[in-house]
Amino acid sequence: MEIFQHILNALQFGSFYALIALGYTLVYGVLRLINFAHGDIFMVGAYIAYFVAVTLLGIGGLHLGMDMHPALALAITVPATMILTALVGVALERTMYRPLRRKGANRLYVVITALMAGLMLENGNLALLGASRKRFPDLLEKVVWDLGGGVSVTNLKVIVIVAAIAVFLLLQFIVTRTKIGMAMRGISYDKFAIPLMGIPLDTIIVFTFILGSSMAGLAGILFAMSYPILEPYMGALIGWKAFIAAVVGGIGDIRGAIVGGFLLGFIEIGVVAVFPSTLRDLFAFSVLLIILWLRPTGIFGVAQTTKI
C-alpha cells in the first residue's frame, strides 16, 4: 500500500516539474530559445502570490487594511498571480530578448542574457527583500482524505495534480487547434514567413511568454501553498530540473514537458523509496542521462529538420 502513497507524491512533484517545464518548452518551441530565467520567473510567481495573499488577508504586503476570508483571498490570488507573473515574463521578452532578436544576435548571446536575467531576478529579490525567508500564509483549509490501507491524500495534492493535467490539456488544445497555436508552431519552422500570413510576429511571441509565465506563476502559488517557505533561490534547482524534464520529454513538445515532468517525479520518489535521499538527484539525473543517451531528441522530440 505504501506504493500508492509514493505514486501520489510522485504525481505531485511531477506536476510542479511539468508546469514549469511547459514554460521552457513553449518558449523553446516557438523561439528556439532556452529561457534560462524561467525557473526564477517561477520564484517571482511564488513571491507575487505571497504579497497578493498577505495584502488581501491584511497581514502584510501593502497594508491596505483588508481582512479577507482565506478562501476568497485564494480565489483572487490565483488569477492575480498568473497575470502579474505573465507581465514579468513579457517584460523580460520586451526588454531583453526582443532587442536581441531585432539585431539578429547569435543564440549564444541570447542564452547568456537569459542566464543573467535569472540571476538578476534572484539577486534583485535578495536586495529588495533581504535574505530572510517568507512564510506563505494558509489559504486553503487542509482536508485529508483517507483512501484506506494507510494511504491518504490532501485536497491540495489533488488540486496540484488536477491543475497540471488541466493546464496540459488547455495548452495542447491551444497549440493544436487554434490559429494562434498554429502560428506558434509555424514560427518555430520559419519565422520569416509568419508576417507573410498577415500575422504580427511579436504578438505571437508575447502570447507565448504570457502562457509560459502564467503557468510558472500558477506553479509558484501551488508550490508556496505546498511548501510554504519562500526564499530567493527556490527557483534555481527546481527550474533546472524542470528544464531537464522538458529536454528528456523532447523540448518543444507539450506532451514531452508533461511526460518528462512526471517521469522525473517518479524517478525521484522511486529513488528515495529505495535509497538514502541524498542519492536522489544523482540517481535521478543518471537515469535521465541514460534516456537522453538512448534518445538524444527526448521522448517526443524529432530531430530538427535542416532547412535550406
Partner 1 sequence: MKTLLEVKNLKVRYGNIEALHGISFDVKEGEIVTLIGANGAGKSTTLLSICRLPPPEAPRVVEGDILFNGQSLLNVPPHKIVSDLDMALVPEGRRIFGNLTVEENLKLATYARKDGHEAAVRDYERVYALFPRLAERRKQRSESLSGGEQQMLALGRAIMSKCSFLMLDEPSMGLAPLLMYDMFRTLKELNREGLTILLIEQNANLALRFAHRGYVLDTGEIVAHGTSEQLLADPEVKKAYLGG
108 touching partner 1, by CB under 8 A = no
Structure-block grid coordinates of residue 291: 534516456
- Which listed residue (152, 154, 172, 188) binds partner 1 by CB under 8 A? 188
Nearer to partner 1 (CB atom), residue 212 or residue 252: 252
Least CB distance from residue 281 to partner 1, whole Å? 35
> Out of 1, 64, 65, 103, which residue is the one contacting partner 1 (CB under 8 A)?
103
Cβ distance to partner 1 smaller for residue 191 or 280: 191
Q: Is 306 an interacting residue with respect to partner 1 (CB under 8 A)?
A: no
190 binds partner 1 per the rule CB under 8 A: yes
Q: In this chain, which of 1, 64, 65, 102 binds partner 1, going by CB under 8 A?
A: 102
Please tell me whether residue 107 binds partner 1 under the rule CB under 8 A: no
CA distance 59 to 64: 10
Q: Is 61 in the site for partner 1 (CB under 8 A)?
A: no
Task: Write down the least CB distance from residue 242 to partner 1, Å.
Answer: 24
Contact 197, 7 (CB under 8 A): no
Using CB under 8 A as the binding rule, whether residue 183 contacts partner 1 is answered as yes
Cβ count within 10 A of residue 284: 23
Contact by Cβ (8 Å): 46, 129 = no
Q: Is 179 in the site for partner 1 (CB under 8 A)?
A: yes
Q: Return the half-sphere exposure (C-beta side, CA atoms, 13 A cut-off) of residue 105.
A: 17
Identify the H or E element spanning 216: helix 201-226
Nearer to partner 1, 278 or 306 (CB): 306
Torsion of CA 20, 21, 22, 25, to 10 degrees: 140
Question: Taking CB under 8 A as the rule, does residue 290 contact partner 1?
Answer: no
Close Cβ partners of 20 (under 8 Å, ≥ 6 residues apart): 38, 39, 42, 215, 216, 219, 238, 239, 242, 261
**Exposed (0-12), middle (13-18) or buried (19+): which is 192, by Cβ within 10 Å?**
exposed
Establish if 198 lies at the interface with partner 1 (CB under 8 A). yes
Determine which residue in the list 71, 147, 162, 197 makes contact with partner 1, applying CB under 8 A: 197
**Amino acid making up residue 32:** R
CA distance 305 to 268: 33
Q: Which is nearer to partner 1, 18 or 30 (CB)?
A: 30
Nearest Cα neighbor of 91 from 53, 121, 129, 59 is 121
Nearest distance from C-beta of residue 259 to partner 1, angstroms? 20
Query: Which one among 109, 145, 173, 189 touches partner 1, defined by CB under 8 A?
Result: 189
Cβ neighbour number for residue 56 with a 10 Å cutoff: 25
Binding of partner 1 by 200 (CB under 8 A): yes
CA 139 – CA 73 distance, rounded (Å): 7
Minimum distance of partner 1 from residue 101's CB (angstroms) = 8
Whole-number minimum distance, CB 110 to partner 1, in Å? 14
Q: Shortest distance, CB of residue 55 to partner 1, whole angstroms?
A: 40
Give the chain's count of helices (H) and strands (E).
11, 4
To partner 1, the closest distance from the beta carbon of 255 in angstroms equals: 15
How far, in Å, CA of 232 to CA of 43, rounded?
7
**Among 2-10, 16-24, 96-104, 112-120, which window interacts with partner 1 (CB under 8 A)?**
96-104
- Contact footprint for partner 1 (CB under 8 A): 102-104, 179, 182-183, 185-186, 188-201, 305, 307-308
